[in-house]
């Protein structure tokens, strides 16, 4: 079965410092290069073959007064790493969408030049929580940005250029995001990481997540990544009850969106830092979907991601 991995990262913080990556990266994984990624992906369970991948930005945000990270330099770095491998890959780059649409236009031009024909989309992380700083990502200043006309203008521009937008936000932000994104049907939107479902919240939280997903699923050009599942289940590879919880959330999400709009992703090496090797990570994905028809599994592991990111064209 072919595999398109629609979410991986590369970095070398010795050469390109990035404080937004956090202390775990600094202490345990300061360098992660193309050869490291491909070595990890060589450990896929039998029957899975990596045919393409999508690198997703690591800039996160650029709040006023915060660390300034050159996002175009990241695109250049990723290409320098991946091109010599001969592997098929795409790039989801960072653009600061809080600035005007002309800024977005200029940055997209620079990323496109640096990426050659590999630019597939943009991500600007929007995770923000009004009361829990642990659920606000570094340099994310506002929780209502998905309602901002400046944001909407840039989303429209991406569609004009055949690019997608990776939406990473908290569940309580999804309903507002759906209202904005429904007006831009030419821009595919890929929700990252099971919509950031967070472990340990109150009893009302799953229903809020569920309603947010349903609102987004009603927008036909929206997709969902099934990834970063430790965020909703902790060390679920070491606990059967936790694994069952994560599996049920994943299967519910697939039921809401359908297999042709869901995709498994490695989120490597972030999940590696949480103790998940590739064999274990994808072993769960394979096991959880073993009762699905072959066409549905092919969608989840390859076809949906390849279509959403144009990796087959």
Token couple for 47 = 């029957």
On whether residue 313 sits in a domain, the answer given is no
For 163, phi and psi rounded to 5 degrees? -110, 160
Give pLDDT, residue 126. 95
Per DSSP bridges, beta strands 31-32 and 11-12 are: antiparallel
Give pLDDT, residue 294. 97
On whether residue 126 sits in a domain, the answer given is yes
Alpha carbon distance 14, 26 (integer Å) = 9
On whether residue 160 sits in a domain, the answer given is yes
* Count of structural domains, the chain: 1
Give the residue numbers spanning the domain of 268: 2-308
Q: Which CATH number characterizes residue 34's domain?
A: 3.20.20.140
Taking only the tens place, the pLDDT of each residue in 239-267 is 999 999 999 999 999 999 999 999 999 99
∠ CA 40-243-171, nearest 5°, is 90
Give pLDDT, residue 229. 98
Give pLDDT, residue 11. 98
Alpha carbon distance 62, 69 (integer Å) = 8
Taking only the tens place, the pLDDT of each residue in 180-207 is 999 999 999 999 999 999 999 999 999 9
Name residues of the chain where pLDDT drops below 50. none
Give pLDDT, residue 286. 98
On whether residue 170 sits in a domain, the answer given is yes
Give pLDDT, residue 313. 56
Taking only the tens place, the pLDDT of each residue in 78-111 is 999 999 999 999 999 999 999 999 999 999 999 9
């Amino acid at each position: 079965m072919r595999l398109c991995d629609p979410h991986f990262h590369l970095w070398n913080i010795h050469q390109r410092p990035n404080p937004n990556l956090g202390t775990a990266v600094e202490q345990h994984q300061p360098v992660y290069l193309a050869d490291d990624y491909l070595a990890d992906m060589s450990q896929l369970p039998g029957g899975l073959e990596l045919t393409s991948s999508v690198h997703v930005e690591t800039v996160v945000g650029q709040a006023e007064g915060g660390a300034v990270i050159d996002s175009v330099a990241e695109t250049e770095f990723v290409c320098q790493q991946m091109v010599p491998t001969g592997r098929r890959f795409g790039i989801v780059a960072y653009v600061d969408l809080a600035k005007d649409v002309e800024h977005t236009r200029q940055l997209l031009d620079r990323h496109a030049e640096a990426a050659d024909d590999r630019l597939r989309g943009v991500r600007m992380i929007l995770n923000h929580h009004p009361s829990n700083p642990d659920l606000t990502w570094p340099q994310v200043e506002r929780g209502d940005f998905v309602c901002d006309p400046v944001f909407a203008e840039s989303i429209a521009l991406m569609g004009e250029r055949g690019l997608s937008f990776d939406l990473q936000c908290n569940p309580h932000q999804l309903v507002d995001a759906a209202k904005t994104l429904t007006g831009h049907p030419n821009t595919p939107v890929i929700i990252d990481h099971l919509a950031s479902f967070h472990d340990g919240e109150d009893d009302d939280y799953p229903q809020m997540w569920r309603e947010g997903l349903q609102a987004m699923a009603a927008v036909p050009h929206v997709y969902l990544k099934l990834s970063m599942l430790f965020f909703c289940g902790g060390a679920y590879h070491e606990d059967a009850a936790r694994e069952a919880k994560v599996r049920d959330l994943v299967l519910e999400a697939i039921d809401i969106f359908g297999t042709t709009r869901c995709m498994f992703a490695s989120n490597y090496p972030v999940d590696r830092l949480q103790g998940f090797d590739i064999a274990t990570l994808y072993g769960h994905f394979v096991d959880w979907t073993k009762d699905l028809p072959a066409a549905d599994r092919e969608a989840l592991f390859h076809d949906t991601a390849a279509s959403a990111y144009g990796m087959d064209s």
